[in-house]
Amino acid sequence: MEDKEAAAATEVQSEYNPDINQDELIMQRHREIEKEIWESTSLVGEKEDLSSLEAEYLTDEVYQAKVKDLLRKYQYIRRTRPDGNCFYRAFAYAYFERLLNHQKEYESFKEIIVQSKLSLMSSGFSTVTLDDFHDTFMEVVNVLSKGASAQEQLFKLFNEQGYSDYVVVYLRLITSFQLQRDADFYQNFIEGDRTIAEFCRQEVEPMYKESDHIHIIALSSALDVGIRVRYMDRGQSTEAIAHDFPEGSHARVHLLYRPGHYDILYPVESD
């Protein structure tokens, strides 16, 4: 309450003091809104019936049509915090949850992650930087082998900021490595004069930076995990269009994209 009163007082003061920077006031309000969202939204939410989306778009015919299309294909949604890390967090939770019931795939993935540290080190990433992130990531991966309690432990860890964010950081580093390893290919996706290395330092490795197609392609290729993203936008189609990454792959993770944000989807039928 005190924060809101202080913000209101600042806004009133600004009307009578032209020297106050209006851009700073806008940024301050933006930070306050972000803080409210963070405090009211779990990093990873409980699984909900997908019909809960309908209530969000009661007066929007375009989005209502897309929700109806989704309901024919998906049964549940799991929401993630809209903090710029939502793609990585949603992907990690959805895939880890899948691995609980796919032992052979789990063993293969675990080996990929063990080897990934060596690849990152050989490409110039600092051991000091990698050790903590890799070790924490492996702690979470190892939870998946704990039997009946694994699901509960996974949900708990993904809602502990330290563990959850370390998982995100490590996936960002893997994405950066993949982009730089295949720089000749990915350079075609970069706008302007930035190199792939510059793009990674500015748009991939830092926390809270949002993700686009290039990030998804790189991560799905690095981990050999097919990702299907359903897009809800204002396009003319009544369908929530699906894009598979890499193209033609078998989707093991299903995500819903709404402008600037990713949540987890659960198909009506899954393997």
Catalytic positions are 83, 86, 261
C-beta of residue 202 within 8 angstroms of C-beta of residue 195? no
User: Can you spell out the DSSP letters for 1-63?
Assistant: -HHHHHHHHHHHHHHH-TTS-HHHHHHHHHHHHHHHHHHHS-SEEEEEEGGGGGGGGTT-HHH
C-beta of residue 76 within 8 angstroms of C-beta of residue 240? no
Q: Which of 136, 135, 139, 161 minimizes the C-alpha distance to 150?
A: 139
Alpha carbon distances (Å) from 133 to 136, 139, 148: 5, 10, 26
Compute the half-sphere exposure of residue 42: CA atoms within 13 Å on the CB side of its CA.
14
Residue 44 to residue 89: CA distance in whole angstroms = 8
Residue 109 to residue 105: CA distance in whole angstroms = 6
